[in-house]
Structure 1
């Protein structure tokens, strides 16, 4: 298996053969299936799947050498021994929606919350996709973790 060179990562296929650490399917079955389908379609078939029941366990398992992991970034930033880099082309995307009981209107603060979220996201350069998505498209999930033994060109 070739070394993952995350500084030069072109696509998911570069991760082929590595084990994948991810959340248990029961936590989000639709997203779990979609994530693995996209990985397979893009040429990344994990050697083995390892499950982390809590996001904080992802970097611990990666640091221990049990595979690579995808994350939006917060868990990765807490572990200095784990390198994380954006995936090229942002191939993994997730849609998040608000919901409330049928027959009721949205919470009175929903409009204010939406305006605040839109303002914050408009200032965050990581919030927008790098390639255009159609309207109402899923949001990107773009971070890869690699273990301490796998160095990018920046680390050499």
Structure 2
């Protein structure tokens, strides 16, 4: 057996060798236009998994300790996680809906930061955090203090 046969569905997805619960590959999701990323709500848990159940998508996968270790050790999975972070960074730079006191994207940003820190490392999370903060500050700092505090805690602040 090769290493990909031992991967969980979530790990296989991040490594580019599997699909999410709707049959989409990571390449399919990364190619979605901004409008689809805003409208579709079940991809973020696959792109940025966490070891806690999603309240928004309770059927989404939950990371196990073994998956965390195997994803961290998989260069392709980490490279794809970084590509996903870059895609979402561009999404947040080009869209404005999230630039309000309350928006569902605030929860997505918290998830992205937590997942990046857990799987790719604190520096990856901080780079994403900085990009989001620059954008929200340039827009007059419309995001509520509670969301900003969640984001700061997510990067280890």
Give the TM-score of the pair, scaled to structure 1. 0.32
Which has more helix, going by share of residues? Answer: 2
**Bigger RCO (CA 8 Å, 6+ sep):** 1
Larger Rg: 1
Which has more strand, going by share of residues? Answer: 1
Give the TM-score of the pair, scaled to structure 2. 0.32
